[in-house]
Amino acid sequence: MISFGMSEEQELVRDAMREFAADAIRPIARECDEAGAIPDDFLETAWTLGLTSTQIPEAFGGAGEERAMVTNAILLEELAHGDASLAIAAMAPSLFANAILDQGTDEQKQTYLPLFCGGSFATGSLAASEPGPLADASRPRTRAETKGDSFVLSGRKTMVVFGDRASHFLVTAALGDDLAAFIVPRDASGLRISDPEKKMGLRGLVTTALELERVEVGRDALLGGPEGADVLQILNVSRTALAAVMLGLSRAVLEYCVPYAKDRVAFDEPIAKKQSIAFRLAEMHIEQHATRMLVWRAASLLEHGEDATKAVWQARSYAAEKSMWIADNGVQVLGGHGFIREHPVEMWFRDARTLGVLEGMVAI
C-alpha cells in the first residue's frame, strides 16, 4: 500500500534528532570545519544516542530493535541538517556494523557486532571509494586473488571515513568477475593508512587513503562466507544514506536563506519580496521536497528487501544534483555574505560538491 505517513516512532526520532542537531551539532560545525577534526567528546555524546547499537540483536549486545532504514534516513537528514561532517561521524560506526548485520555470516556477526555495543565510541569503516579518474565503486580496481587458504588484496582506496581510528575496514574488491568485500583489521600487514586527507568539503570529518599491497587475509575475512555477499546492497545502503545527508544539507541552506532574505533590504524592501529571490527560494523548497520523496522510496525498498538499485541511483543522483544546485543558489541569495566564512553557506556549498562524488561514507 502506498503511504507517506511517518509512524509515531519515526516522528519521535525525527524530533529528538532535530533537537540534538540544533543543540550539539550546528553550534560546533564551523569550528570542526576550521580545525579539520571533530572533538572526541562529541563522538562520545553521539554514541549515547545508540545510533548503531539500537538495531544490533540482543544476542550480540545490542538493543535488538528492528532494522529500520527509513527511520535511519529520517534521522540522518536531521543530523545532516546540523552539519554533514558531524552527521557522518555520528553514524560512521554503522558503516561497518550494518554491513556485517545485513550480510555477515553468523560467525562474523558474533565476532564483530559486539565491538559496537560497548560504552564508548568505537568504529570500523568501509573502504569503497577509489582514487583516479572515473573510479566507480560498483567496479573496484582493487583486486582480490585466492592464494591457498587465504585472499590477497591489492589496490588503493580513498575517502575512508575515520581511517585514523577504525578498528577494521570492509574493503571492496573484484574477486574474479564478482564484487566482494573483505574484513581487514587495521594492523594487517601490507596495509598502509595515510595521514588525514585534505579536502574541499567535509573538512571536519577525518578521512584517509588506504594502500593495500598484497594484504593477506584468511578465508573467514570474505564477507558473507564462501558464497560471498551482496556488496551492491551495501553500496545501495550507503548511497541512500549519502542522499539523506545531501537532503539535510539542502534543507539547512534553504532554512538559512529564508530569514536572511526577509531581513536583507535592498531598494527599500526585503529582497524576499522580489520575485527573482522569492521564486528561487520556492524552487529550492520544491527540490528539497522532491529529493526527500526519492530518499524515502529508496530507503523503503531497501528495508523491504526489494530490488532497489534503480531507486537508489535515482535518489543519489537527484540528491547530488539538487543539493549542489540549492547550495549554489544559497550562496547567490546571500551575495557577498555567501562568500565569507562568517556564514555557513559557503561551507555547505563546499560540502555539497564533495558529498556528490563520494561513496561509502555513511550507512542507514
> Would you name the residues annotated as active-site residues?
359
**Nearest by Cα to 108 from 223, 230, 234:** 223
Least distance in angstroms from the C-beta of 364 to other proteins:
13
Contacting residue, 150, 154, 309, 332, with other proteins by CB under 8 A: 309
Does 4 engage in binding with other proteins (CB under 8 A)? yes
Q: Name the residue type at position 282.
A: A
Among 81, 297, 343, 350, binds other proteins (CB under 8 A): 297
| Residue 169 in grid coordinates | 575496514
SS3 251: helix
Residue 274 φ/ψ region, left for φ over 0, alpha for ψ in the -120 to 50 degree band, beta for the rest: beta
Cα 273 to Cα 289: distance, rounded to the nearest angstrom: 22
Residues 184 and 286: their CA atoms lie apart, in Å, by 43
Question: Which residue, chain included where needed, has cell 561513496?
Answer: 359
Residue 300 binds other proteins, judged by CB under 8 A: yes
- Joined together, the cell numbers standing for residue 335 give 551575495
Structure-block grid coordinates of residue 42: 562529541
Q: Does 233 bind other proteins (CB under 8 A)?
A: no
Cβ proximity to other proteins: between 16 and 59 the closer is: 16
Query: Which range in 2-10, 85-93, 98-106, 117-125 contacts other proteins by CB under 8 A?
Result: 2-10
* Region from 25-33, 87-95, 133-141, 326-334 binding other proteins, contact rule CB under 8 A: 133-141
Q: How far apart (Å, rounded) are the C-alpha atoms in residues 82 and 22?
A: 6
Question: Which among 162, 60, 159, 69 has a CA at the least distance from the CA of 121?
Answer: 162
Write down the least CB distance from residue 18 to other proteins, Å. Answer: 18
Tell me the three state secondary structure of residue 284.
helix
What minimum distance in Å lies between the beta carbon of 286 and other proteins? 5
d(C-alpha 353, C-alpha 325), whole Å = 9
Distance CA 216, CA 86 (A): 33
Q: Quick check: 266 binds other proteins (CB under 8 A)?
A: no
State yes or no: residue 304 binds other proteins (CB under 8 A).
yes
Q: Name which of 338 and 356 has its Cβ closer to other proteins.
A: 356
Check binding of 26 to other proteins (CB under 8 A).
no
Part of the chain binding other proteins (CB under 8 A), chosen from 89-97, 195-203, 214-222, 350-358: 350-358
- Residues in contact with 65: Cβ distance below 8 Å, sequence separation at least 6, in sequence order: 54, 55
Taking CB under 8 A as the criterion, the residue among 217, 312, 345, 364 binding other proteins is 312
Binding part of the chain for other proteins, among 29-37, 81-89, 332-340, 354-362 by CB under 8 A, reads 354-362
Q: Which stretch in 16-24, 99-107, 117-125, 294-302 sits in contact with other proteins by CB under 8 A? A: 294-302
CB of 98 to other proteins, least distance (A): 18
Nearest to 246 by CA among 347, 299, 318, 310: 318
Binding positions for other proteins, rule: CB under 8 A: 1-7, 10, 70, 130, 133-139, 232, 235, 239, 258, 261-262, 272-273, 275, 278-279, 281-283, 285-286, 289-291, 293-294, 296-297, 300-301, 304, 306, 309-314, 316-318, 320-321, 356-359
